[in-house]
Amino acid sequence: MAGKDDKDKAGKPPFSPFPASGAFGKPPPMFQNLQDGDAARPAEPPRTAAGKADDEAKGADAPSPLANVAARAPELKATLGRFGRDALGRLNAAGAALRETATATDSETPKRPAKPTPQPDAPKARGQAAESQKGAWARYRRGLIVFVVGAWLVFEHARRNVPPALVGGQPPEAFLFSQLGANALAAVAGLILGLVPVLLMTRFRDIGLALLGVLLLYFIFLPVVGTGMVFFTGAAAVVGGIALGVWWFGKEGVSLPETFGTSRWAKLKDLTDAGLTGEEGFRLGAFREGKEEAIIRYAGSRHLLTVAPTRAGKGVAAIVPNLLTYRGSALVIDPKGENALITAKRRVALGQAVHLLDPWNIAAGKLGMKPARFNPLDMLRPDDPDLVENANLIADALVVSSGGANDRFWDDEARAMIVGLILWVVTAPQEEGKRTLGRVRDLLVLEPKELFGVFGRMIESDHPVVESSGTRAMQKEEKVFSNVLATAQSHTNMLDSPRIRESLSGSDLSFADLKAKPSTVFLILPADRLDTYGRWLRLLVQQAILVNARNIEATPARPILFLLDEMAALGRLTMVEQAFGLMAGFGMQLWGIVQDLSQLRRLYGDGWETFIGNSGVLQYFGSRDRMTAEYFSALCGVATVWNISTAVSSAMGGGSRESESRTTANAQRSLAYPDELMTLRQERQLLFVENGYPILADKTPWFADPALEGLGNDLHKPR
Among 472, 506, 540, residue at a domain's last position: 506
**Residue 555 and residue 702 in one domain:** yes
Q: Per DSSP, what are the bridge partners of residue 689?
A: 617
Among 138, 170, 203, residue at a domain's last position: 203
CATH at 476: 1.10.8
**Residue 639 and residue 654 in one domain:** yes
Alpha-carbon distance of 450 to 443, in angstroms, equals 9
Q: What is the dihedral of CA 153, 159, 160, 162, to 10 degrees?
A: 130
Flag whether 123 is in a domain.
no
Q: Per DSSP, what are the bridge partners of residue 636?
A: none
Q: CA angle 559-565-568, nearest 5°?
A: 115
How many domains, the chain?
5
User: What is the residue type of 9?
Assistant: K
Flag whether 185 is in a domain.
yes
- The whole-number pLDDT of residue 212 equals 79
Flag whether 59 is in a domain.
no
Q: Which residues of the chain are under the pLDDT cut of 50?
A: 1-46, 49-63, 65-66, 69, 102-120
Owning domain of residue 180 = 158-203
Flag whether 111 is in a domain.
no
Alpha-carbon distance of 92 to 280, in angstroms, equals 73
- The whole-number pLDDT of residue 124 equals 54
- Residue 518: C-alpha distances to residues 21, 81, 563, 631 (Å): 101, 99, 15, 38
Q: Chain-centre distance of CA 258, in angstroms?
A: 25
Q: What is the dihedral of CA 349, 350, 352, 355, to 10 degrees?
A: -50
- The whole-number pLDDT of residue 509 equals 94
**Residue 437 and residue 407 in one domain:** yes
CB 388 within 8 A of CB 415: no
Flag whether 53 is in a domain.
no
Contact partners, residue 543, CB within 8 Å, separation at least 6:
374, 376, 379, 394, 397, 511
- Residue 359: C-alpha distances to residues 159, 373, 438, 526 (Å): 105, 8, 15, 9
**Residue 343 and residue 387 in one domain:** no
Alpha-carbon distance of 238 to 697, in angstroms, equals 41
Nearest alpha carbon to residue 501 among 434, 570, 565: 434
**Residue 221 and residue 193 in one domain:** no
Pairing type for strands 615-620 and 560-564 reads unpaired
523: burial class by Cβ within 10 Å (0-12, 13-18, 19+)?
A: buried
Nearest alpha carbon to residue 19 among 7, 31, 11: 31
- The whole-number pLDDT of residue 224 equals 67
Flag whether 56 is in a domain.
no
- The whole-number pLDDT of residue 179 equals 79
* Alpha helix (H) residue ranges in 374-477: 387-398, 405-427, 437-444, 448-459, 464-475
Pairing type for strands 282-289 and 292-298 reads antiparallel
**Residue 407 and residue 471 in one domain:** yes
Nearest alpha carbon to residue 599 among 619, 633, 569, 631: 569
**Residue 494 and residue 552 in one domain:** no
Alpha-carbon distance of 304 to 617, in angstroms, equals 5
Alpha-carbon distance of 415 to 403, in angstroms, equals 14
**Residue 596 and residue 557 in one domain:** yes
Q: Per DSSP, what are the bridge partners of residue 420?
A: none
CB 587 within 8 A of CB 556: yes
**Residue 586 and residue 697 in one domain:** yes
Flag whether 549 is in a domain.
yes
**Residue 391 and residue 264 in one domain:** no
**Residue 380 and residue 448 in one domain:** yes
Among 445, 479, 506, residue at a domain's last position: 506
Residue-wise DSSP of 324-360: HH--S-EEEEESSSHHHHHHHHHHHHTT-EEEEE-TT
Query: What are the φ and ψ backbone dihedral angles of 620, each rounded to 5 degrees?
Result: -125, 120
467: burial class by Cβ within 10 Å (0-12, 13-18, 19+)?
A: middle
Flag whether 181 is in a domain.
yes
Q: Per DSSP, what are the bridge partners of residue 685?
A: 697
**Residue 600 and residue 523 in one domain:** yes
CB 509 within 8 A of CB 329: no
Say whether 588 sits in a helix, a strand or coil: strand
- The whole-number pLDDT of residue 71 equals 57
Model's pTM, two decimal places?
Answer: 0.65
- The whole-number pLDDT of residue 258 equals 65
Nearest alpha carbon to residue 233 among 243, 220, 218, 245: 220
CB 646 within 8 A of CB 662: yes
